[in-house]
Amino acid sequence: MRALGPSTGKFALAMNDPEIRARLYPLLLGGVHIDELPTGTTRADVVHITPTFMHGYEVKGDGDTLQRVKNQLKCYGEVYDFVTFVVTEKHLAKLLLLLPEWVGILVAPAEGTGLRPHREARYNATVQRAPLAGLLWVEEIKQYLLALGLTGASTLRQREVAHY
């Protein structure tokens, strides 16, 4: 945390991204997590991947804006089984107006060391196959298609993979 200076007129402690992530990581049990995973035209801050689900997390610290939330929701909604925004108190009220009911919210209070659940993420039934395949490297997809015995997979180009 860092103190906001006199130029802001505030002397409260500001919560930033690394501090919030440090509170999130211990909650991601089983599987692996990946930071900054390219997702459509944006990047998910943290993605928790297990054999049964992918959960995208977007972190909003005190210094962040909410300008990209609409695009982040669109991109995350296409590929992640669950989506949760991990935010400070500063952003909670505005995000409640922007986020659909299926998106979870965890709050990082300035005091304490954990995260407070505000709303649990619900299963996202709108995952789409083509954007989901876009998370993989083209060579990984080709190897998978070849393993299935599909001919012609080795010569596919990236733009063709989503339609195969």
Provide the CATH number for the domain around residue 54: 3.40.1350
Q: What are the angstrom distances between the C-alpha of 113 and each of 20, 21, 62, 87?
A: 9, 11, 16, 14
Total number of domains constituting the chain: 2
**What is the C-alpha separation between 162 and 47, in angstroms, rounded?**
21
Tens digits of per-residue pLDDT, 77-118? Answer: 999 999 999 999 999 999 999 999 999 999 999 888 899 999
Q: Tell me the average pLDDT of the chain.
A: 82
Contact 24, 86 (CB under 8 A): yes
Joined tokens for residue 136: 């993989």
Structure confidence at residue 162 (pLDDT): 52
Do residues 94 and 37 both lie within one domain? yes
Q: Which domain holds residue 100?
A: 2-127
- As a whole number, mean pLDDT of residues 25-43 equals 91
Do residues 89 and 44 both lie within one domain? yes
Structure confidence at residue 40 (pLDDT): 84
**What is the C-alpha separation between 114 and 108, in angstroms, rounded?**
7
Structure confidence at residue 5 (pLDDT): 45
Do residues 112 and 84 both lie within one domain? yes
